[in-house]
Amino acid sequence: MGRLWKTESGFPLLDMLRDIPTLIPDAYNGDNLPESVRSTLIYFGISILWRANVWPKDEIGNYRSSLGVYQKNFEDFLLGVDNLKNVKVIIEINPSGQNRVHKLISLPRVRKIKNSRQHDFFILGLHFYFIIGGTNEIYNNCFKHSNSKLMLFFTDSKNKLLAIADIIQNRVIPRGNLRKDYPHISSQKK
């Protein structure tokens, strides 16, 4: 795994993605990566979630036991005894360093989204999302087109944030209370 994430000298996973076709701009089917890379990414992510799930509650917050009935399947997968069941993976790759995705590491968290649970954490430019159990129309549509259980998305937040800032600063004309409270902004835009 250490050979895939972002370092000072480069971002090997990002370089690999540049060599495979996209589904839509900045979206990649994980099945187009070498099997060794796919299995490393998934195994690494599952091991982080499983460790946080069994860690003493006082030390890791409220994540403990959040895998519920999937804990045994995760254990069996990590031991090489079984395949993952009802798990889809999204990895967001963001090399810009401009938002939370690029902090060193986060603890896993879980949220209920429709009929499934989304478990996520980030480490060195990679934001892992594991969608576990249930049926979720949002995620099902995302994976339906790729015919894969692993999707990767490239999101360069720095460029997107700069584009949004440009639109707000140069094209949006203040109206209503904003215009009343900040008349100097209104007068600068013609």
CA distance 97 to 45: 21
In this prediction, residue 101 carries a pLDDT of 42
pTM: 0.73
What is the percent of the chain where pLDDT is above 70? Answer: 67
Give per-residue pLDDT as tens, 137-184: 767 777 776 778 888 887 765 455 444 455 555 666 667 766 676 665
Beta carbons of 11 and 130 less than 8 angstroms apart: no
Mean pLDDT over 56-72 rounds to 78
Task: Tell me what pLDDT residue 182 has.
Answer: 60
SS3 14: helix
Higher-pLDDT residue of 94 and 132 is: 132
Instruction: Give the whole-angstrom CA distance, residue 118 versus residue 37.
Output: 22
Q: Report the chain's mean pLDDT, rounded to a whole number.
A: 76
CA–CA distance, 87 with 78 (Å, rounded to integer): 14
d(CA 188, CA 190): 6
Domain boundaries defined on the chain: 12-155, 157-190
Confidence band for 92, pLDDT divided at 50, 70 and 90: confident
Q: Are 114 and 136 in contact (CB under 8 A)?
A: yes
pLDDT (0 to 100) of residue 190: 46
**Residues 65 and 58: beta-carbon distance below 8 Å:** no
